[in-house]
């Protein structure tokens, strides 16, 4: 299933995209697409619905973040061997973990706002994991059953704040609007191999990232198991799993986002995003 949240920011309604690409309303069956409603039993009930009986949404509304009420927005750094190489880094012996503020979360086509004074804001198309059931000390072999599904994430990053202003990466990662999520939450049963999906990102029509989750070092099941050793993963938590090469920091000369730019990005089977970039004054 392709689950969505649609409508004005802060008042999104639950929906799904049917096999014909039509948006249908799920409000009669579920209050929201959030941690309370994406567990295995809830997903099974939604899957049993005759989609043809659901009301069509005839207009083309805004799509919000594909999961609401995110508790933790966890991110993995340097998780693609080819991206690590382009930045001059080595793949670490354990996953690099950082967080993005949940206030960074926006819809897949919402406006990205560069923070005041930003000169090195960058893009990163990433595979997102959405947790469906609580995971604590889970083995890798059992980890997949805790995943509700997958989505597209743009892990936008202010490189000066991240790398040059001391301390952790978080202040360059968690700026407002720096976490577009969606358009859809694709349930786990509809993603045959999350470690073999093509992914891409363009800026102003120029292709910068053209990669695959196949070069991911630490795979989704491992990441869920690994993170669950340090903290309980709760339903609705989101894990952003790293990016392939082609980020602005890796260009020669380097290229960063500016007012008026437009990013488009997507992952095979998980949909596409489009964000206009505006600089805060």
pLDDT number for residue 119? 95
Tell me the per-residue pLDDT of 119-170, one tens digit each, with 9 for 90 and over.
999 999 999 999 999 999 999 999 999 999 999 999 999 999 998 888 888 8
Tell me the per-residue pLDDT of 177-200, one tens digit each, with 9 for 90 and over.
999 999 999 999 999 999 999 999
CB atoms within 10 A of CB 9: 11
For domain 73-279, the CATH architecture is Alpha-Beta Complex (3.90)
Domain boundaries, the chain: 2-53, 73-279
Q: Give yes or no for residue 264 having a pLDDT over 80.
A: yes
Mean of pLDDT values over 242-266: 96
Dmax (CA) for the chain in angstroms is: 55
The sign of the CA dihedral 126, 242, 120, 68 is positive
Mean of pLDDT values over 195-216: 97
Q: Read off the tokens for 7.
A: 């409508």
- Taking Cα atoms as reference points, which of 164, 155, 159 lies closest to residue 105? 155
Q: Read off the tokens for 112.
A: 């990205």
Q: How confident is the model at residue 78 (pLDDT cuts 50, 70, 90)?
A: confident
pTM above threshold 0.75 = yes
Mean of pLDDT values over 247-274: 97
């Amino acid at each position: 299933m392709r689950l969505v949240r649609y409508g004005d920011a802060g008042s999104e309604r639950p929906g799904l995209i049917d096999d014909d690409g039509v948006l249908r309303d799920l409000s009669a069956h579920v209050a929201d697409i959030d941690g309370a409603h994406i567990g295995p039993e809830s997903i099974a009930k939604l899957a049993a619905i005759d989609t043809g009986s659901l009301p069509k949404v005839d207009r083309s509304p805004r799509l919000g973040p594909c999961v609401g009420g995110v508790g933790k927005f966890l991110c993995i750094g340097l998780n693609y061997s080819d991206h690590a190489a382009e930045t001059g880094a080595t793949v670490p012996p354990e996953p690099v973990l950082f967080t993005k503020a949940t206030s960074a979360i926006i819809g897949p086509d919402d406006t990205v706002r560069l923070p005041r004074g930003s000169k090195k804001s960058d893009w990163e198309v990433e595979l997102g994991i959405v947790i469906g059931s609580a995971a604590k000390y889970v083995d890798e072999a059992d980890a997949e059953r805790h995943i509700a599904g997958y989505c597209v994430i743009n892990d936008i990053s202010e490189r000066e704040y991240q790398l040059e202003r001391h301390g952790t990466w978080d202040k360059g990662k968690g700026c407002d609007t720096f976490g577009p999520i969606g358009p859809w939450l694709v349930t786990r049963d509809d993603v045959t191999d999350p470690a073999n999906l093509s992914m891409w990102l363009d800026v102003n029509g120029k292709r910068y990232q053209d990669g695959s989750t196949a070069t991911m070092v630490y795979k989704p099941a491992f990441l869920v198991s690994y993170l669950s050793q340090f903290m309980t993963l709760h339903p609705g938590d989101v894990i952003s799993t790293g990016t392939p090469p082609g980020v602005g920091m890796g260009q020669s000369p380097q290229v960063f986002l500016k007012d008026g730019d437009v990013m488009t990005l997507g992952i095979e089977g998980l949909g596409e995003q489009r964000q206009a970039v505006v600089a805060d004054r």
